[in-house]
A and B are shown apart, each in its own frame.
Chain A
């Protein structure tokens, strides 16, 4: 036992003291954050792209004023302009495109065209379509000569946003968000995939290093090969857990900082901005809270999301993540160790890697599908079968999984990883001392049955 801990110690310390580990540990959360933040920034900066669109109605005047200007879209109604003439010159005139509405519109809804040099963003198109649709609906309704139509329309108008709530066995209702669950499933599944792969192949490289440098011969004259293998696997697992814990702490710290600074700042500035407006507009008294929500619906949504994120079963998620990381990693790392022991150099690993990679990749793909449909039978089976369950189950848990499924999956996982470690140890024991022979699957099968 003492010797295993000596080996674990070496494996752990040599890796943790490497520069690449330190850089990776600090940089990864920042990169992750960048991965989330940068697209958001890019998207919001894109929205700032100001577009002027020329609207030409042929022989009608139905839509004048029905397309309201937004922050990024300005509609200019042009009269007495020929479409074909403008087609050549609209860019020079500073227009992004021409919205051409033909006179046949009410009868044939296809008669609207947006002419532009670039593919217009989907959001802008949707905005225009919605506005025009509403206007056409209104026009069509007006054709029925209903009294007080305007008032009725105002009454009818409504805005729907579904709030999801999850009810647990004790009848407690919690606000949840499918978006948050999806994000967690995505991050959890992907992280698990990365960790298992990254640290699994580190084990393999370590074994190959020891075999090619013949260190292994010196060590197995002092300790049993299984001890060396387990020492290496556990040492690297601890490296992984260390990294994972640092990531959690960093994330908590970053979230904490974001929550305390950004939120506070924004609230204050929002209030500061809205109060003067309010003073000028004394007819509409409103509470400060409402003001904030009115002034910035995004902000209130953000805090709602925050709340629902807090309502996720964090204890279960973190526990099962660590459980599946340890067992899944042990399973794959021992296979990787066996492969490493069977080859003479890293290029020879290819033929053995493929069958090991397939279940991992499959698991990742199923996990991604799980986010769309957590209850599909494919997701269910893959979250029970041990080779794929670490990744798929982690992706399923944020959506809620019956306890018996988790227990079954975990039990199968434990049994399987013990079996895999046992088999891998047998292959490893023979493999590390074999040199210069091309190893085949058949050969490895034979090693499994060697006694001494």
Chain B
């Protein structure tokens, strides 16, 4: 079931379309990647979901009913451009944002203590925001975003500015939140994290949705006829007929070979041929990375 749905959303600024008849559907308890090149209209869509601005036309649904102003309480939003009061103390600030989201002071305090301990931030409580590094500030902002336990979490570039260790910490927290029932919309240019985290994606370009679906399905669709095979020992295959070797690597007494096969061949035929060449360890269709797909889709459209 879809936790959030946008149907035929259109938003214009003057004569310019920011969103043109865009529809997305975000299944419950999943991570949804909202992708697209710069200026595609992602931020506008996010702002519409947050009810910061309203659409010119189209409908929005949360939990099967129309999105209402009070639904902002069940949405958590981490904007791309982090915003914290520089001169304010970390603790006071986190409390302030939590109270704006409707938590009582005592409850906000209790939850903040929990999260600050969990993410190893408790020493920052009395410091001013300007004394923290950019990554630290982002961690604070992440906590303020998830504190009111929103059903829908919108994260715009959540990993930018984090070192690999903290990126991993935040990734795990996102997965943990999903386990606990949250639904996440993740807007990012980091395609690696899309492959790693996202269940579904929608790719927006020039105000329109040009690609959407399950990440696995999309990668299969774009897989083409490329395969990757790993042999035990030093093995080569000859690019005879319609087998076209793209790449061969020999490492740790294993040969990894990427090749393209003709359209009419199915995997069984290819595999039986391969078995004759040597001892097969693994055999996979070579899935294109989301990065490649992104570039190819956007470029063909342009």
Contacts and interface: CB of A to CB of B under 8 A. Distances in A.
Size category of the A interface is 20 to 34
B258 to A, nearest CB: 44
Contacts of B84: 213, 215
Nearest to A429: B53
A19 to B, nearest CB: 12
Given A433-B47, A452-B53, A452-B55, A223 B81 contact: no
A10 interface: yes
Nearest to A231: B100
Contacts of A14: 85, 87-88
Interface string B75-87: 1010101111111
B52 A433 contact: yes
Contact of A221 (B72, B85, B87, B102): B72
Contacts of A2: 102
Contacts of A6: 96, 99-100
Interface string B47-86: 1001111111000000000000000100101010111111
Interface in A229-284: none
B162 interface: no
A452 B86 contact: no
Interface residues of B, number: 28
A210 B79 CA distance: 14
B55 A221 contact: no
A214 B100 contact: no
Given A10-B96, A213-B86, A222 B101 contact: yes
Q: Is the interface of A mostly helix, strand, loop or mixed?
A: helix
A216 B82 CA distance: 10
Contacts of B294: none
A91 to B, nearest CB: 61
B56 A217 contact: no
A216 B77 CA distance: 12
Which of A214, A217, A219, A223 is most buried by chain B, counting CB atoms within 10 A of its CB?
A217
A216 B100 contact: no
B97 interface: yes
B82 A214 contact: yes
A138 interface: no
Which of B50, B83, B96 is most buried by chain A, counting CB atoms within 10 A of its CB?
B83
B100 A7 contact: yes
B83 A221 contact: no
A341 to B, nearest CB: 14
Interface in A1-55: 2-3, 6-7, 10, 14
Interface in B120-165: 141, 144
A217 B101 contact: no
A433 B53 contact: yes
Nearest to B76: A221
A218 B79 contact: yes
A165 to B, nearest CB: 55
Nearest to B44: A433
Nearest to A227: B100
Contacts of B101: 222
Contacts of B144: 218
B161 to A, nearest CB: 14
A313 B237 CA distance: 105
Interface string A198-232: 00000000000110011111111111000000000
Contacts of B51: 221
Given A6-B100, A221-B52, A452-B56, A214 B72 contact: no
A2 B99 CA distance: 9
A2 B84 CA distance: 21
Interface of B: 47, 50-56, 72, 75, 77, 79, 81-88, 96-97, 99-102, 141, 144
Given A219-B100, A221-B52, A221-B75, 7 more contacts: A6-B96, A6-B100, A209-B86, A213-B84, A214-B81, A220-B52, A221-B51
26 contacts: A3-B100, A14-B85, A14-B87, A14-B88, A209-B86, A213-B84, A214-B79, A214-B81, A215-B84, A217-B52, A217-B81, A217-B83, A218-B77, A218-B83, A218-B144, A219-B97, A220-B50, A221-B50, A221-B75, A221-B77, A221-B79, A433-B47, A451-B54, A452-B53, A452-B55, A452-B56
